[in-house]
Structure 1
Amino acid sequence: MIVYVESNFVLELAFLREEHQQCEVILSLAESRDIDLALPAFSIGEPYEALERRLKQREELYRRLRAEIRELARSKPYQEPTQRFQELTDLLLKSIEEEKRRLDEALARVLSIAQVIPIDLDTIRAALTFQNSRNLSAQDSIVYASILTHLAGAGPGPHCFITKNSRDFVNPDIKNDLMIYKCRLLTAFSNGLGYIRSGLS
C-alpha cells in the first residue's frame, strides 16, 4: 500500500498538532516497511513557507512587546510586573528557535523513508489543467498532479491519499480520479490510520 501525504503531515509531526500521534504511527509503519510513504516534492518547501509566516508574526509581536515592556518599566509601579512580562517575551523568542528545530527534524525523518515525487513538465501541464477542471489552487494542483502521475505508474491498490485540506480536495471528481487507481481520499489522519490498519490486517 502506498500512502500519499502532503505538507500538513509534516506540520502535524513538527508542531505536535492534534493528530501528531496518528502521524507518528503512520511514519513508524513506513519505517518498518509495512507501507510505502510518498510525498510530492512540492510539499517539501510548503512547511517552511508556513513556518516563515509564523516566525515573522512572532518576531513582530516580540518587538512590539519588548517596546511596550521597556515603556512600562520606566514607571515604578510597573517595574516588578514587567519582569514577568520579560519571561513571556523570552519564551516567545525560544519558541521560534524550537519550532524551526522541530520542523528540520520532522522533515529529515520523513525524507529518510518517503518516496519523493519529482515535478516534471508533464506534472506542471496537468496541474494547470486541474486548476480549472478540479477547481484547485496553483499549489494544490501541483500536489494533486504529482500524486496522480505517481499512481499511474504504481502497482495495484489499495492506496490512499491523506490530507487535512478537505476544503479543496473533497470533490467528487477528485475522488473518482483517485478511485481509478484504487486510491482512497481521507481527510483525517485518524481515519487514514484506520484505513491503513484495515488494509494490513
Structure 2
Amino acid sequence: MSLDTVVEDIREEARARADEIRSDGEARAEEIIADAEADAERIIEEREEAVEKQIAQEREQTLSSAKLEAKQQRLEARRDVLQQVRGEVEDELAALGGEKREELTRALLDAAAEEFDGDDEVRVHGRADDEELLTEILADYDGYSFAGDYDCLGGVVVESETSRVRVNNTFDSVLEDVWEDNLKELSTRLFDQ
C-alpha cells in the first residue's frame, strides 16, 4: 500500500469522522434549539397566565373597592336623610303649641311626679319659652315650683334634694328613646320600598 493511499484513507476517515461530528453537532444544536423554544413557550405561557391572574385580581380589587365606596355613599346618604328627618321632627316639637303642648307637658310632668311622692320641695326645669305654661301647670301641684331654664325642645326636668332624684322627661329624651326604639323600622320605611 502506498503512502498516498494511506494518506487518502486517513483523510477519508477524518472527513467521515468530521461529517459524523458535524452531524452529531447539528443534531445536538437542533435538540438544544427545540428545548430552548419549548422552554420559551412554557415561560411565555406562565407569564401570560401570571399577567391574566394579576389582571383578574386587580379587577376584583377594583370592583370590591367600588362596591365598598358605593355602599359607604349609600350609608352616608341614608344617615343624612335620617338626620334631616330627625331635624324636622325636632323643629315640629319645638314649634308645637297650644293645647297639644300643654297636654304633652302635663303628661310628662305626671309621669315624673310618680318618682317624688312625699317630697316637700320639687323643682321643675323647662324650656325658657315654656316658663309661663309650666308656672300655670305647676299651680296644680303642691310643693312644685319652676326652678329655671333647661335647654330642650320642651317637657320637664324634675328634681328633688330630699330624694336626690332627677327625672329627665323632656321632649328630647322621649324623642331619643322613640328614635332608638324605632330607627330600624323608620329606615325600613324610608329606604326599603
TM-score above 0.5, yes or no: no
Q: TM-score range by the shorter chain?
A: under 0.3
> Relative CO higher for 1 or 2, CA cutoff 8 Å, sep ≥ 6?
1
Normalising by the residue count of structure 2, what TM-score does the alignment of the two structures yield?
0.24
The normalised TM-score by structure 1 is: 0.23
